Structure 1
Amino acid sequence: MSILNIYEVHVHGLFNGLFAPLYVGSTVEFLPKFSVSGIWKRWRESYPTEGYEADDAITVFTGVPTMYTRLIQGYHAMDPELRATSASSARNLRLMMCGSSALPQPVMQEWESITGHRLLERYGMTEFVMALSNPLKGERKAGTVGKPLPGVQVKILADEEHESEESGVGELCVKSPSLFTEYYKLPEVTKESFTDDGFFKTGDAVTTDKDGYFIILGRKNADIIKNGGYKLSALEIESVIVEHPNVSECCVLGVPDKDYGEIVCAIIVPAAKSEEESKPALSLAELSTWAKTKLAPYKIPTRLIVWESLPRNAMGKVNKKELKKLVTSE
């Protein structure tokens, strides 16, 4: 088994993309940097013709959501013959995984239509490595991170301000054999991070579906928007807006408002247009009309910002705290 790993060095990349495969004797291949054309080319080299597998073929691939978005864009930019060859080669991999941040359902669905792979999503943190996972064999539900792994205990801690135990919404708490003991030389932070019965408070708001699969609603301090009497998931709204044909990427924030506490603000990156097409900016009115059948009225953005790109860190994540400061200072 050969794994192509293009993660930055963090817990998901280290444990799932590096340590686990090395432990079972696999080869891990690193690219010097993320390259859309380079990855598609590597897969074509691995499976150049139907029924043939190169000796150094890649069999497993790991990546983050932004990378899959870029790979999809690169795929559509190919000529028809190269697209067919690339998709055929990708279908021969044994497994494709996604982690680090929430995977928008439209991205998962389009990737599956191109490659035949339903991406394997899980949930973990540096403090306990991995805790939840969709099954390797079984139903992988889009928009969820699966169920607790063997030996892992989880519970949902209700938010005193708005939720009740019966609501099924609250902060995810984890107890695991791999759970860390303490933050180095930070006893007070350590104490505040655990419940009285030893569960680690992750800071992530979650709920579950009817089958017990966990749904990450986002970081309590960054992805939960307090709008009037509602608590909204920015990740849910983002996953809908990114379905718009004129949207390439989207980031949703709660922006301070004197009447509602916070309003829903969407920052979008327009989809690329061909030279023959004009490139109209998506207006707030157009977005609102389009979203009416997909989102509850109170979830529809009331502010829209159009940028050429979203600022990201080395791991491909948008720092929403810094982005909110930037937006509110405008």
Structure 2
Amino acid sequence: MLPESVRDAVESGDPLPGTTGFAGELPDGRLARDVLGRELLYTDSGTWSHDPDDLADPTLFPAGHVGTPDDHERVWRLPDSTIDGGVDALRDALEAAFDALSARDGDGDVAVAFSGGVDSALVVDAVDAPLHVVGFPDSADIAAAKESASLLGRDVTAHELAIEDVEAAVPDVARAIGRTNAMDVSIALPLFLVAERADADCLLLGQGADELFGGYAKVEKAETDPRTDADTVRGARDEVLATLPDQLERDVRAVRATDTEPVTPLLHDAVVREALRLPDDLLVADGTRKRALRAVAAERLPDPIAYREKKAVQYGSLVARELDRLARQAGFKRRMDDHVTKYVESVV
């Protein structure tokens, strides 16, 4: 049964009632799923589960909806962006998120997926847990994780990959996430591999910061970038944020396939609410993305970490490069349309 805070949120319409996501059954038998889809919920013939493998023909219950499997409506939407926030309010929101994280009980062994950047470093600063990174020996993620861990006075376990590791994981990951397209598989692979190697009950992730705080090039260049319909930084950020439920389904399923529970403290409701209140110049300005988040981080972390620029995980780990190599070795040449997807489909 969903907690009382969620039940109150149904009545009030508050999309951010102070959680890190929820999905399940209300006392009246209706189902509910949080506005960002941070928790998964599937239905089939009047039954429901958090795990699609429990159901014969699972259908994902939409984020922000309340109702029955066959009759539901959108109750929650993210608040409209306003321009009345700042670094101080964001600092308080992050403190609330980390307090909630430290108050968790009964999670068993906890580890942090640490790639050396500001997002995962903020999580590291809030917990005393082992740090893990995966990547190929010459990858930027392993180099960054080792450098940042040293600056923090922490140890990090670097799990160096071989191409055989990726080859073996591809079919498992594609089946776990229910997708075979090259981009989704290349993103899910390092999450699956780090969760598998960390071998913890709970894996803390820095997921969501790029979407909330303007971490993408297309947000920075919104006025001219054809990848966004918006022509302002905040408008482009809001577009990117709307893609989060789809991304989180992939990421959660990839991590849970290793019997590990993912936790995303930077997606706490308090942090989401304050991110939506930031003006353009606290998202991106003067060539610096995620400015507000970095400003808070600089109070906690050494500047080389707070202001480190990083590649997306599939590139920083070099998993995307090696996935492309596997496809070509299997005869799927780059001149073919979407050759990596064709390779993934051939091995699932």
TM-score, with length taken from structure 2: 0.24
Structure with the higher strand share, 1 or 2: 1
Structure with the higher helix share, 1 or 2: 2
Q: Could you say which structure has the larger radius of gyration? A: 1
